[in-house]
Structure 1
Amino acid sequence: MDDRKELLKVEALETTFFTDGGEIPAVDHIDFSLKEGEILGIVGESGCGKSVTSLSIMGLLPSPPGKITGGKILLDNKDLTKLSEKEMRKVRGKDIAMIFQEPMTSLNPLFTIGNQLTEAILIHHKNWTKKQANARAAKMMKLVGLPRAEELLKEYPHQLSGGMRQRVMIAMALVCDPKVLIADEPTTALDVTIQAQILQLMKELNKRLKTAVMLITHDLGVVAETCERVIVMYSGQVVEEGPVDVIFKDPQHPYTQGLIQSVPDMRHKKDRLYSITGSVPKPGSIKVGCRFAARCEFATKKCIEASPKLYQTSDAHKTRCFLHEGKKVSSNDRAIVESTRT
């Protein structure tokens, strides 16, 4: 039994963009939770709502046009959606922090690394001196594996390599000991070797500091190596959720199956890599029915006319597909279903 404290709970979150062309729902009734020391992966194609979910949690949605139109975001039972911007600034960085995709654009080129690291410290620890803040910043730089930390604090972002800048971003996010860390595609702009180092670093810091991590990525290999649980998103909805080993061993939603089949496997030689046909629908374009139906080889008339719920198929496994309505489905069951459709 997992008795770890629940730090973050998202309930029926709805995020909408109000444009000249009308209302565009980007996140549609998302539910999930994150426990102390847990690493939760959120995966899906570009445009499925992953980053909008993270920006909603952080209170960083561009407004206008974005707005949270429903649901709750509970951090230690405090609803972040009810906080003013002034109150949110006290939470952001201290209790919940974020690592952004591109470190070069996230760091201000006009300020030294030291200025940018100590800013958050001095905002949240008003009784600290600049000397204390610099000492804390240097300590965090060393913690994330950066050499000559004191010297680097005096340098500017353009003087650092991509991997070093990303380590600075991690140090900046962790400098005030947040309970929850959101990492939005933290290795996208880095080469493979540096990616592995950054992911290993995040795992080590997660174990050492007991920080809960929400890792947003499109890379299933990263999820398999790093996360305990995974949420698969599609067109603003959760389509599957469960422990990583369960999802990879028994993917139940056709979209998850497609994502896993799309990953190259060195053990088997293939003339052609598998790909899911079509693309993610435009947000708000599908009013009724399963949003994956147009791309799904198992779709029936019911999939187009009715919207599936998120069915509980086992104690820790949920999937949004009519194939699993009203029953617990095993791999053998699905093989039979697939054979009847081919």
Structure 2
Amino acid sequence: MRSKPVLEVKNLTTSFFTDEGTIPAVDNVSFHINKGEILGVVGESGCGKSVTSLSIMGLVPNPPGKIVSGEILLNGEDLTKLPKKRMRQIRGNDVAMIFQEPMTSLNPVYTIGNQLVEAVRLHQKMDKKQARNRAIEIMKLVGLPRAEELIDEYPHQLSGGMRQRVMIAMAMVCEPKLLIADEPTTALDVTIQAQILRLMKKLNENYQTAIMLITHDLGVVAEVCKRVIVMYAGKIVEEGDVESIYENPKHPYTIGLIKSVPDVNQKIDKLYSIPGNVPKPGSIKQGCAFAARCEFAMNRCFSENPPLLDSGQGQSVRCFLHETVEDVSYSV
């Protein structure tokens, strides 16, 4: 019997209310993550990836932002209906987040130990000594050297890669059921990126933690994820297992993203890029948000909103090209 997903997001809409009007940053998004699964969420900046993660964490700034509709079920409990006190208990204990820039996420006036111990004692029934030992244990687990000394140092004394490992340690210290990683390797060099990704896979395997990995790097997704959802202008435009989407992408946007990845085996004068820019959230009132940038766009694409269609082989795609044709393939 198949177990229930750790996380189920159903018809989530998160909007920002500004002087210019209502801006739907996340527009009717639905997906799930199973226990022990790593789900990739990809798309350009401004596609709604980070707002989706902040909605799950209950950290959307209000005002001006607000979850307008939908459900976020963590082990069956709807996070959108919980009081702030209960949400604080869940955040860090059942669901944790690794932010993009560790230097701005760590408090510069407190030692690494102070911040890790606080996270442990906030959610676990431990005294200071037990919490410190637990902090040292998790620091060693994430590959930080000389953990017994490092625990008494300040964030500015650590390198970028070490600070990111501290952030992962802080997120994992209470063994959450769901870990959200928002661009966890963006600010790091290639060697450290590879180490952080290996670390996340190891933690995922050891603890069976479900991971939602937000990134714009399709190479990262290919390396660590089992399934992937592609977001554009606040909507999911394609979803499926990584292998199927890489071998046979369905949505023109996904095709463009894959074509944008440089191939070291090919010598070309100019790298491919998708023409145009991501539209300003809320600026597309009707039709497909990608139509203006799409080489396959038809007249109806500018006036009708395409639904998310089941295209077979475990893939879903939001595109009229797959409404009547069973399997449309494009060269990537």
Q: TM-score, normalised by structure 1?
A: 0.95
**Equivalent in 319, 322, 333 of residue 320 of structure 2:** 322
What is the DSSP-based 3-state SS (H/G/I as helix, E as strand, rest coil) of the residue aligned with 2:117? helix
- Report the alpha carbon displacement of residue 328 of structure 1 after superposing the two structures with TM: 2.4
What is the DSSP-based 3-state SS (H/G/I as helix, E as strand, rest coil) of the residue aligned with 1:183? strand
Task: Name the counterpart of 1:289.
Answer: 287
Q: What is the CA–CA distance in structure 2 between the aligned matches of 1:4 and 1:266, rounded to whole Å?
A: 41
Q: What is the CA–CA distance in structure 2 between the aligned matches of 1:198 and 1:18, rounded to whole Å?
A: 37
Q: What is the CA–CA distance in structure 2 between the aligned matches of 1:206 and 1:328, rounded to whole Å?
A: 36
Q: What is the CA–CA distance in structure 2 between the aligned matches of 1:25 and 1:84, rounded to whole Å?
A: 24
- Report the alpha carbon displacement of residue 311 of structure 1 after superposing the two structures with TM: 0.5
Q: What is the CA–CA distance in structure 2 between the aligned matches of 1:299 and 1:292, rounded to whole Å?
A: 9
Task: Name the counterpart of 1:81.
Answer: 80
Structure 1 position 131 matched with structure 2 position 129: yes
- Report the alpha carbon displacement of residue 148 of structure 1 after superposing the two structures with TM: 1.2
C-alpha contact 2:50 2:214 (8 A) present in aligned 1: yes
Q: What is the CA–CA distance in structure 2 between the aligned matches of 1:315 and 1:161, rounded to whole Å?
A: 44
Q: What is the CA–CA distance in structure 2 between the aligned matches of 1:326 and 1:299, rounded to whole Å?
A: 15
- Report the alpha carbon displacement of residue 286 of structure 1 after superposing the two structures with TM: 0.6
Structure 1 position 270 matched with structure 2 position 268: yes
- Report the alpha carbon displacement of residue 264 of structure 1 after superposing the two structures with TM: 0.5
Structure 1 position 156 matched with structure 2 position 148: no
What is the DSSP-based 3-state SS (H/G/I as helix, E as strand, rest coil) of the residue aligned with 2:45? coil
**Equivalent in 235, 238, 251 of residue 236 of structure 2:** 238
- Report the alpha carbon displacement of residue 85 of structure 1 after superposing the two structures with TM: 1.2
Q: What is the CA–CA distance in structure 1 between the aligned matches of 2:95 and 2:87, rounded to whole Å?
A: 10
Task: Name the counterpart of 2:140.
Answer: 142
C-alpha contact 2:321 2:328 (8 A) present in aligned 1: no
**Equivalent in 226, 229, 252 of residue 228 of structure 1:** 226
Flag structure 2 segments of 5+ consecutive residues without an equivalent: none
Mapping of 1:1-20 within 5 angstroms? 3-20=2-19
What is the DSSP-based 3-state SS (H/G/I as helix, E as strand, rest coil) of the residue aligned with 1:325? helix
Whichever residue aligns with residue 97 of structure 1, its letter is: A
TM-align CA RMSD: 1.3
C-alpha contact 2:250 2:317 (8 A) present in aligned 1: yes
Q: What is the CA–CA distance in structure 2 between the aligned matches of 1:281 and 1:308, rounded to whole Å?
A: 17
Task: Name the counterpart of 1:103.
Answer: 102
What is the DSSP-based 3-state SS (H/G/I as helix, E as strand, rest coil) of the residue aligned with 2:6? strand
Q: What is the CA–CA distance in structure 1 between the aligned matches of 2:325 and 2:93, rounded to whole Å?
A: 44
Deviations 1:127-147 (A, max 9, x none): 310001001000000000011
Structure 1 position 31 matched with structure 2 position 30: yes
Q: Percent identity?
A: 67
Q: What is the CA–CA distance in structure 1 between the aligned matches of 2:326 and 2:194, rounded to whole Å?
A: 37
C-alpha contact 1:313 1:327 (8 A) present in aligned 2: no
Q: What is the CA–CA distance in structure 1 between the aligned matches of 2:67 and 2:55, rounded to whole Å?
A: 7
Q: What is the CA–CA distance in structure 2 between the aligned matches of 1:152 and 1:226, rounded to whole Å?
A: 29
Q: What is the CA–CA distance in structure 2 between the aligned matches of 1:237 and 1:201, rounded to whole Å?
A: 30
> What is the aligned residue count?
332
Whichever residue aligns with residue 267 of structure 1, its letter is: N
Mapping of 1:38-57 within 5 angstroms? 38-57=37-56
- Report the alpha carbon displacement of residue 269 of structure 1 after superposing the two structures with TM: 1.7
- Report the alpha carbon displacement of residue 22 of structure 1 after superposing the two structures with TM: 1.2
C-alpha contact 2:8 2:31 (8 A) present in aligned 1: yes
- Report the alpha carbon displacement of residue 20 of structure 1 after superposing the two structures with TM: 1.5
Task: Name the counterpart of 2:251.
Answer: 253
- Report the alpha carbon displacement of residue 4 of structure 1 after superposing the two structures with TM: 4.9
- Report the alpha carbon displacement of residue 247 of structure 1 after superposing the two structures with TM: 0.3
- Report the alpha carbon displacement of residue 84 of structure 1 after superposing the two structures with TM: 1.3
Q: TM-score, normalised by structure 2?
A: 0.98
Q: What is the CA–CA distance in structure 1 between the aligned matches of 2:244 and 2:284, rounded to whole Å?
A: 30
Q: What is the CA–CA distance in structure 1 between the aligned matches of 2:266 and 2:189, rounded to whole Å?
A: 25
C-alpha contact 1:229 1:243 (8 A) present in aligned 2: yes
